[in-house]
Amino acid sequence: MPASVVFGRNEKCRINRNIFVLGFAFMVHFTAFHGAANLQSSVNTDDGAGTFTLAAIYFSLILSNIFLPAVVIKWLGCKWAIAVSFIAYMPFIAAQFYPYLHTLVPAGMMVGFGGGPLWCAKCTYLSVVAEPYSKLSGISSEVLVMRFFGLFFMFYQMAQIWGNLVSSAILSSSLGESTEFLLNETVASNAASLNNMSVLTQDLGATCGVNFCNGGDVHVRQVETW
C-alpha cells in the first residue's frame, strides 16, 4: 500500500464494523445452511436424495475452489463476490420445502459453485484490511490477520450452535398432543340425531412438525361412541 494514502479518522471503526457485519452475516446465513445440511441424509431419505445432495455440494465445491475464485473476485471484487455467492445458497434452502432428488441435487451444486468464491473472497477481504489497520494502529499486520480471522470464525462457528438448537427444538418438541372434537355421524332433520355422536381424537403429532408429510392421511382414532 502506498505510504501517501491518507485515511479518515474513523477508518479503524469502519474496518471493525465491516468485520463484525461480515461475521454476523455469515452466522445468520450458515445457521440456515448448516441446520438443513446436517439433517440431509436423515430427513431426505427417499431415493437417497439427502446423501446425493451432500455429495453434489462438496464435489461442486472442489471444482469451484479450483476454477472460480480468482475469476469471480477479479470480476466482481470481494464485496459483490460475497453477496452473489450468498444468493447461490438460497435455492438450496428453498428446496427444503420441496425435497426431491431433482430439486435438491441441482440446488446443492449451486451451493458448491458459490462456496469457492465466497470463502476466498472472505479470506481476501480480511487479509487486505489488515494492512491499513496496521498502519493506523501500529500493530503488525500478521497479528491483525490472525485477530480478524479469529473474530470472524467466532461468529461463523456460532452458526452451528444456533442451527442445531433450531433442529433440536423441532425434533424434540412434544408431539402427540390430542385434540378432541365432536363429529355428528348422521345428518338428520330431527333433534333425536343429536344423540348419535362420536368423540374423535386427532393425533396432531403424527402429522405436524418433524412428522409432517404433505398429502399424508390424517390419523384419526375413534375413542368413544355415544
Please give the angle made by the CA atoms of 120, 126 and 128, to the nearest 5 degrees: 95
Angstrom distance (rounded) from CA 148 to CA 20: 9
> Do residues 129 and 19 lie in contact, with contact meaning Cβ atoms separated by under 8 Å?
yes
pLDDT of amino acid 60: 97
Rounded average pLDDT over 109-134? 95
Residue pointed to by grid coordinates 500500500: 1
pLDDT digits 0-9 by tens, 128-176:
999 999 999 899 999 999 999 999 999 999 999 999 998 888 888 655 4
- Residue 10: pLDDT band with limits 50, 70, 90: confident
Of 12, 19, 4, residue with least CA distance to 155: 19
pLDDT of amino acid 178: 46
pLDDT of amino acid 183: 43
The pLDDT mean for the chain works out to: 82
The rounded percent of the chain whose pLDDT value lies above 70 is: 73
pLDDT of amino acid 8: 72
* CA distances (Å), origin 87, targets 14, 103, 125, 132, 203: 25, 16, 19, 30, 39
| pTM assigned to the model | 0.73
Is 41 strand, coil or helix? helix
pLDDT of amino acid 225: 45
Contacts of 189 (CB under 8 A, 6+ apart): none
The number of beta carbons lying within 10 Å of the beta carbon of residue 1 is 10
The residue that leads in pLDDT, 196 or 31, is 31
Rounded average pLDDT over 46-65? 94
pLDDT digits 0-9 by tens, 95-112:
999 999 999 999 999 999
Contacts of 207 (CB under 8 A, 6+ apart): 213, 216, 218, 219
> Do residues 197 and 215 lie in contact, with contact meaning Cβ atoms separated by under 8 Å?
no
* CA distances (Å), origin 163, targets 30, 101, 129: 8, 23, 30
pLDDT digits 0-9 by tens, 170-217:
888 655 444 444 444 444 444 445 455 554 555 555 555 556 555 444
Angstrom distance (rounded) from CA 61 to CA 179: 47
Contacts of 203 (CB under 8 A, 6+ apart): 176, 178, 219, 220, 221
